[in-house]
Amino acid sequence: MASLEASQVEQHLEWDTPLFLMARAQFEQALPHSDVSPMIAERLSFPERALIVSVPLRRDDGSIRVFAGYRVQHSTVLGPTKGGIRYDPEVDLGECAALAMWMTWKCALLRLPYGGAKGGIRCDPRSLSPREVERLTRRFTSELVREIGPQTDIPAPDMATNEQTMAWMMDTYSMLIGHAVPEVVTGKPISVGGSIFRREATGAGVVMTAERACRRLGTPLEEQRCVVQGFGNVGGVAATELHEKGATVIAVSDLSGGVYSPKGLDVPDLHAYVALHGSLAAYDRGERITNEELLELPCDLLIVAAREDQLTAENALRVHAKLIVEGANGPTTLEADAIFAERGIVVVPDILANAGGVTVSYFEWVQDLGRLFWDREEIRSRLADKMMDAFDRVWSVSEEKGITLRQSAMVAAIREVGGALETRGIYP
Ligand code: NAD
């Protein structure tokens, strides 16, 4: 140890996993365009706080098993931190740190008064009974009680957690504090302070940005022939919105594969089918295709709303869409991104396109704090204002700097946080 330079010792921290180093590298690539000082850049390269807890669970058979739980808070410059809680075997400190940093940029881009956080429990949720998941959630919440709070850190659902998980977190926190605190989490059921339109918000926001991008590119949304990968919460709602706005949805897919009709699919019929049968597996009102084929169909607009790493160096040259909108997080690899830029295919990046969810989470928090109840139209119109404002700022930076929308989204976000931190200064 004595032979190591002090800077080398400092540089290797516990969250420096490949994923976090990738998040930091993206940040560093955007810095030259972002006009922030080296001092501010250095501060924002690190999460502010990280917590590891061990969470004991009494299994249904009476035995005890201990799980690792994490919460990382990246930045409190603009307000409390905000981000999901996931239950997954891959959860670790580096993953939470990377996702927390990305949440900081997403919130800042939308001008929400939050920084980013992420947390979770390293477990296989499918091996746990519903009662076990409830006990694990309640104990994890009690371990976090000094870290989370409506003014400090506000969790939300993520992988394998849902409205019910948030209701258990809200209840446990409220029991420990002594009164009902619905504003401590978002993504709750409406009966305990959740917001109307939260479920549809991400998919609706995806289509709002797609419509804006079409307008900027000079082709109305109604004339687009659209392909949607993923027919879950985000993709299913996006397909409905496209259909209702008069665009033609020619193909959709889920884990079971895709269905294609060049004349256009009947989206309400697809939803009715999935509600009845659980997936698109045997849907026969169209040609059956694989997910790989779906991504390469001739179309105008491709919405990728399934999962990460779908558009890669392997298939990017065979993608025919003119516009790609990222409903999922991380669906395009860095190599594919470079190929699309080279080919003039416009990509609306995830931190902008799928920010509708966190934006309506913010509306949920505001309504809870004010004991207010906004209706669907009010929430939809406020969401549209936020998404359009962010889209236009990103588009302007892209034109001004001659960089991609992904790079300009990062630049616009870093400017928000960096500018605020510059003004606040570094304490003390
Ligand atoms: P979901 O589980 O409801 O839906 C995912 C859909 O994708 C399902 O239809 C599934 O069958 C399908 N799918 C999975 N793998 C596939 C593959 N390889 N090919 C084709 N289809 C596949 O999940 P979701 O909430 O819709 O999330 C989708 C993506 O959007 C994720 O990347 C998530 O992180 C991101 N996202 C979701 C929200 C939200 O509010 N739900 C917000 C921001 C980002």
**CB of 361 shorter than 6 A to ligand 1:** no
Length of the chain: 428
6: confidence class by pLDDT, cuts 50, 70, 90: low
**CB of 202 shorter than 6 A to ligand 1:** yes
Tell me which of 82, 118, 188, 386 is the catalytic residue: 118
**By alpha-carbon position, which residue is closest to atom 33 of ligand 1?**
328
**CB of 195 shorter than 6 A to ligand 1:** no
Q: What are the CB-based long-range contacts (under 8 Å, 24+) for 218-221?
A: 219/300, 219/322, 221/245, 221/246, 221/247
pLDDT in tens, 186-235: 999 999 999 999 999 999 999 999 999 999 999 999 999 999 999 999 99
pLDDT of 123 above 60: yes
Query: Residue 388 corresponds to which tokens in the numbers above?
Result: 């359009």
pLDDT in tens, 156-187: 999 899 999 999 999 999 999 999 999 999 99
Cα 67 to chain centroid distance, Å, stands at 25
Kindly state the helix (H) or strand (E) to which residue 54 belongs, with its residue range.
strand 49-58
pLDDT, mean of residues 390-397: 98
**CB of 354 shorter than 6 A to ligand 1:** yes
Buried/exposed 191-224: b ≥16 CB within 10 Å, e otherwise: ebbbbbbbbbbbbbbbbbbbbbbbeeeeeebeeb
CA 406/CA 279 separation, integer angstroms? 32
5: confidence class by pLDDT, cuts 50, 70, 90: low
CA 30/CA 34 separation, integer angstroms? 6
Q: How far is the CA of 102 from the centre of ligand 1 (A)?
A: 18
Q: Which atom of ligand 1 is nearest to the CA of 231?
A: 9
**CB of 327 shorter than 6 A to ligand 1:** yes
Which strands make up the sheet holding 287-289, listed edge to edge? 287-289, 257-260, 248-254, 225-229, 301-304, 323-326, 346-348
Type of residue numbered 309: D
Cβ(52)–Cβ(27) under 8 Å? no
The rounded mean pLDDT for the chain is: 96
Q: Which of 86, 88, 107, 202 to mutate to test the pocket of ligand 1 (most atoms within 8 A of CB)?
A: 202
pLDDT in tens, 360-369: 999 999 999 9
Q: What are the CB-based long-range contacts (under 8 Å, 24+) for 309-317?
A: 309/333, 310/229, 311/336, 311/340, 312/336, 313/339, 316/340, 317/343
- Going from the C-alpha of 169 to that of each of 69, 136, 153, 212, the distances in angstroms are 14, 10, 13, 37
- Going from the C-alpha of 245 to that of each of 36, 345, 395, the distances in angstroms are 41, 23, 23
Type of residue numbered 242: L
DSSP letter assigned to residue 5 = -
**By alpha-carbon position, which residue is closest to atom 4 of ligand 1?**
232
**CB of 256 shorter than 6 A to ligand 1:** no
117: left (phi over 0), alpha (psi -120 to 50) or beta: beta
Helices (H), 264-404: 267-277, 291-295, 334-343, 350-353, 356-370, 376-401
Residue 188 C-beta-side C-alpha neighbours within 13 Å: 26
pTM score, two decimals?
A: 0.95
pLDDT, mean of residues 377-381: 98
- Going from the C-alpha of 76 to that of each of 70, 180, 423, the distances in angstroms are 18, 25, 14
**CB of 237 shorter than 6 A to ligand 1:** no
**By alpha-carbon position, which residue is closest to atom 1 of ligand 1?**
232
Q: What is the pLDDT of residue 1?
A: 43
Q: Which atom of ligand 1 is nearest to the CA of 235?
A: 26
Q: What is the pLDDT of residue 2?
A: 44
Q: Is 106 a catalytic residue?
A: no
Q: What is the DSSP string of 281-295?
A: TT--SSEEE-HHHHH
Q: Which atom of ligand 1 is nearest to the CA of 234?
A: 26
Q: How far is the CA of 321 from the centre of ligand 1 (A)?
A: 20
CA 210/CA 326 separation, integer angstroms? 10
Q: What is the pLDDT of residue 12?
A: 80
Kindly state the helix (H) or strand (E) to which residue 176 belongs, with its residue range.
helix 163-177
Cβ(98)–Cβ(20) under 8 Å? yes
pLDDT, mean of residues 327-335: 92
Q: How far is the CA of 38 from the centre of ligand 1 (A)?
A: 37
> Percent of the chain, pLDDT > 70?
97
pLDDT in tens, 255-278: 999 999 999 999 999 999 999 999
Backbone angles phi, psi at 72, to 5 degrees: -120, 130
Tokens 């992988």 correspond to 159
Q: How far is the CA of 308 from the centre of ligand 1 (A)?
A: 9
Cβ(221)–Cβ(210) under 8 Å? yes
Q: Which atom of ligand 1 is nearest to the CA of 306?
A: 7
Q: Helix, strand, or coil here: 115?
A: strand
286: left (phi over 0), alpha (psi -120 to 50) or beta: left
**CB of 357 shorter than 6 A to ligand 1:** yes
Q: Which atom of ligand 1 is nearest to the CA of 256?
A: 11
Backbone angles phi, psi at 17, to 5 degrees: -90, 170
Q: How far is the CA of 24 from the centre of ligand 1 (A)?
A: 25
11: confidence class by pLDDT, cuts 50, 70, 90: low
Q: Which atom of ligand 1 is nearest to the CA of 202?
A: 40
Q: Which of 290, 307, 332, 361 to mutate to test the pocket of ligand 1 (most atoms within 8 A of CB)?
A: 307
Cβ neighbour number for residue 235 with a 10 Å cutoff = 24
Tokens 């619905």 correspond to 182
Q: Which residue has the higher pLDDT, 321 or 329?
A: 321
